Structure 1
Amino acid sequence: MLKTDTIQITPEILTLIARIDEFKGAWRALGTLAPDRLSALRRVATIESIGSSTRIEGSRLSDREVERLLSNLEIQSFATRDEQEVAGYAELMDLVFSSWQDIPFTENHIKQLHQILLRHSEKDARHRGHYKTHSNSVAAFNEAGTQLGIVFETASPFDTPHLMAEMVAWMNQARETARLHPLLIIAVGVVVFLEIHPFQDGNGRLSRVLTTLLLLQADYAYVPYSSLESVIEQSKEAYYLALRQTQGTIRTESPNWRSWLEFFLRSLAEQVRRLEKKVEREQIVLATMPELQLAIVEFAREHGRITMGEVITLTGASRNTLKQHFRALVERSVLNQHGSGRGVWYGLR
């Protein structure tokens, strides 16, 4: 059994949990942005998450390339392994965001999530949704996608089924009894999952999707609007170091949970900080808009799209004056311009 009674709650861990939970409680007040702006934040965060999580595992696609690929997901045919991985990750993220309340934490559902993650990966067709049959290990990659070396040797294929059953049972019991804080339960579950590395491939990506799922189920509703994966990508050295320091001790009498817990909570706190900045920026933009621009934005929000002629009728302002306001709203990334000439219209980003 997992020896979580050795978890050392340091002052930093307490401070980080308090910081994250304070934001969790304030999210309803901070999240008063209009639905279209929240949707825009979520789309940017999703693109960052997919790009970062796949790059951590060696992909070379930029966020711009990921965005372009996501706009054409319906093609269902992807030329490279990087594209296949992005498509699978995107579909799994969409499922988690839309159905997190209906996904119990069971081995069967974890296997189903893995199946979706690798749905488009031709190389992984034989083992998707099944526990590994060959030894694997945690490897580190540089920005060029080149493997730097082995971070940690993982559980054997023989041990994987009973270790996964043990981990899932511990998670569900811990969540039910609530003797540990939800963030500590999630952190332990994720690092043990990575220590087992139950699937032949896709474990790192799946661990990050499971993190999002578990956070949403623990009522951290802001998670879709800020990319935790991006935070981890930008601190990869610390990520691999924390993994190594904790994973190598999990099966000992005195596991070193502290290294991973502090990294995990620092990452969540940074995720919160970034979202606070984004929300603050959105609120400042709205607060400093001239009256005419606010009228344009409200009309676009109500009707989905807006034309110059409609705003002239609505406000009585001159075409030249409105041109300046439309230009400013496009430059500030509030509106998107579609078409040109007489057929031009505008929609909210």
Structure 2
Amino acid sequence: MDVVLGFMIRSDTVQITPEILSLIAEIDEFKGAWRALGSLAPDRLSALRRVATIESIGSSTRIEGSQLSDREVERLLSRLQIKPFTTRDEQEVAGYADVMERVLSSGPDIALTENHIQQLHRDLLTHSEKDAWHRGSYKTSSNSVAAFDDDGRQLGVVFETATPFDTPRLMSELVTWFNCERAVSGTRRLHPLLLIGVWGVVFLEIHPFQDGNGRLSRVLTTLLLLQAGYAYVPYSSLESVIERSKEAYYLALRQTQGTIRSETPDWQPWLDFFLRAVAEQMRRLGRKIEREKLVLATLPELSLQIAEFAREHGRITMGDAIRLTGSNRNTLKQHFRALVGHGHLSLHGSGRGVWYELRWELP
């Protein structure tokens, strides 16, 4: 049942269309199938997660106007503990990386409370000098949502948001509503994916913080998906999907958010977009897994043995390959060189410390 507060979030007006049912069924089928992929080596999962995290950080900050490419994000993350961040783009990337790591490592332990949301916002902006005055605090002046083009130029205001006066009350209502809905069992319960979708669009309609709302909403979406049992989420970037559909993203937000405070909110535009994005996130991960299987199936026998060992153990050295195959070093060098040249393996270290891992490509 909906929780009646100062304003009732009318989730009872959500329309369950055949497309919504189909998308939810597809996503939940993959959610179940992911458990069967538990045989992937921990290092393989770690490599998948690393690539997805880089994509998520890069895409989420670019949606808000950052200019850093995924490769630049990757280089920045490699020196997080070494160098100060001189540009706003670098500061935003570093903050997003900190918060994503916290969510991915401690997700089940982060209760959805206003206090935790404010802590995540504070951490998100912890490196941003310009934002020091409002980190972790609700907004004190009116803000509105702007869209940006690929060059970082503002395209215009997308929609008006809640007033600073109304923000604390609306956030309290939203958090209470979500937690109560999540605790409901039985046939009256809204499916977790729909519940998370409604949460996200209302959060962005309130826009509770002076800045960082878009990035925080995507962090919170990842958190809530993890808590709902979608354990594959860290290994494929939802933010990257949204970035590639940025115009549709803003259009869906605008169409739904203009109706949220009415008696008959139109959740359809946003829920359609959100579920399609989550489905594409899932399909991308499925394609990566299938691509790896296909590549391995077409390799020469000796290369296949090397790649399979790397997949099962997370890494392989020349010594491993000699013991595994019984082949001589020069022959193996040719196979390693070909696997690296075709992008199937990545090389790490130098001299006697050289080792290889199966590669997940960044786009």
Normalising to structure 1: TM-score of the pair?
0.94
Q: Write the distance in 2 (CA, Å) between the matches of 1:160 and 1:251.
A: 14
Are positions 1:4 and 2:11 aligned together?
yes
Match of 1:104 in 2: 111
Alignment equivalent of 2:317, drawn from 291, 294, 306: 306
Distance (Å, rounded) in 1 between the aligned partners of 2:281 and 2:54: 15
Greater shift in the superposed pair: 115-124 or 295-304: 295-304
Is 2:287 the partner of 1:280? no
Whole-angstrom CA distance in 1 between matches of 2:206 and 2:225: 21
RMSD: 1.8
Q: Give yes or no for the alignment of 1:71 onto 2:78.
A: yes
Change (3 A) 1:289 1:35: farther
Q: Distance in 2 between matches of 1:304 and 1:320?
A: 20
Which of 343, 350, 356 matches 1:347? 356
Count of equivalent residues: 347
Displacement after TM superposition at 1:343 (Å):
3.8
The answer to whether the 8 A contact 1:138-1:151 is kept is: yes
Deviation for aligned residue 1:12: 1.1
| Kept in 1: contact 2:44–2:314 (CA 8 A) | no
Are positions 1:193 and 2:200 aligned together? no
Write the letter of the residue equivalent to 2:208. Answer: P
Q: Deviations over 1:59-105 (max 9, x none)?
A: 00000000000101102510100000000000100000000010000
User: Shift in Å at residue 296 of structure 1?
Assistant: 3.5
8 Å Cα contact 1:337-1:344 kept in structure 2: no
Give the aligned partner of residue 4 of structure 2: none
1:266 aligns with 2:273: no
- 1:310-321 to structure 2, matched below 5 A, reads 311-312=321-322, 315-321=325-331
Runs (4+) off by over 6 Å = none
Q: Using the alignment, how far apart are the partners of 1:148 and 1:56 within structure 2?
A: 12
| SS in structure 2 at match of 1:74 | coil
Q: Which residue of 2 aligns with 1:122?
A: 129
Which AA in structure 1 matches 2:317?
I
Inter-partner Cα distance in structure 2 for 1:208 and 1:324: 44
1:331/1:260 Cα in 2 relative to 1: closer, same or farther (>3 Å)? same
Distance 1:280 1:137, change over 3 A: same
Q: Using the alignment, how far apart are the partners of 2:18 and 2:294 within structure 1? A: 34
Distance 1:302 1:153, change over 3 A: closer
Per-residue displacement from partner, 1:79-137 (whole Å, max 9, x unpaired)?
Answer: 10000000000010000000001000000000000011000000000100000001001
Per the TM alignment, residue 174 of structure 1 is displaced from its structure 2 partner at its CA by 0.6
Q: 1:31 to 1:310 in 2, by over 3 A?
A: closer
Distance in 1, matches of 2:314 and 2:143, equals 53
Secondary structure, counterpart of 2:181 in structure 1: helix
Q: Deviations over 1:169-191 (max 9, x none)?
A: 00000100041000010000010
Deviation of 1:32 after TM superposition, in Å, equals 3.4
Letter matched to residue 122 of structure 1: E
2:302 pairs with 1:292:
yes
Paired letter, 1:41: L
Name which of 164, 167, 181 aligns with 2:174. 167
CA distance in structure 1 between the partners assigned to 2:295 and 2:40 by the alignment = 11
Aligned to 2:135, the other structure's residue is in SS state coil
Does structure 2 retain, via aligned residues, the 8 Å contact 1:33–1:283?
Answer: no
Letter in 2 for 1:205: R
Aligned partner of 1:345: which letter?
V
Q: Alpha-carbon deviations, 1:136-195, whole Å to 9, x = none?
A: 011100001111000010000000000000000000001000410000100000100000
Contact 1:299 1:306 survives alignment (8 Å): no
Is 1:255 aligned to 2:265, yes or no?
yes
Which deviations, in whole Å up to 9, do the C-alpha atoms of 1:252-311 show, x marking residues without a partner? 11101111110100111111111110010122233444443354356656595513x554
- Structure 2 gap segments, 5+ residues each: 1-7
Aligned position for 2:5: none
CA contact (8 A) 2:297 2:304 kept: no
Mapped partners of 1:314, 1:169: distance in 2: 57
Residue of structure 2 equivalent to 1:42: 49
Letter in 2 for 1:279: I
Distance 2:54 2:44 in 1: 16
The residue aligned with 2:25 is: 18
Change (3 A) 1:144 1:31: farther
Match of 1:138 among 145, 170, 179: 145
Compared with structure 1, are the counterparts of its residues 33 and 289 closer, same or farther at alpha carbon in structure 2 (3 Å cutoff)?
farther
Question: Kindly tell me: are residues 299 and 220 of structure 1, through their superposed partners in 2, closer, same or farther at Cα, counting changes over 3 Å?
Answer: closer
Determine if contact 2:125/2:132 at 8 Å carries over to the other structure: yes
Distance in 1, matches of 2:37 and 2:308, equals: 20
Distance change (3 Å), C-alpha of 1:274 and 1:338: closer
Secondary structure class of the residue paired with 2:346: strand
Contact 2:296-2:308 within 8 A present in 1 as well: no
Does the CA-based 8 Å contact 2:55-2:240 persist in structure 1?
A: yes
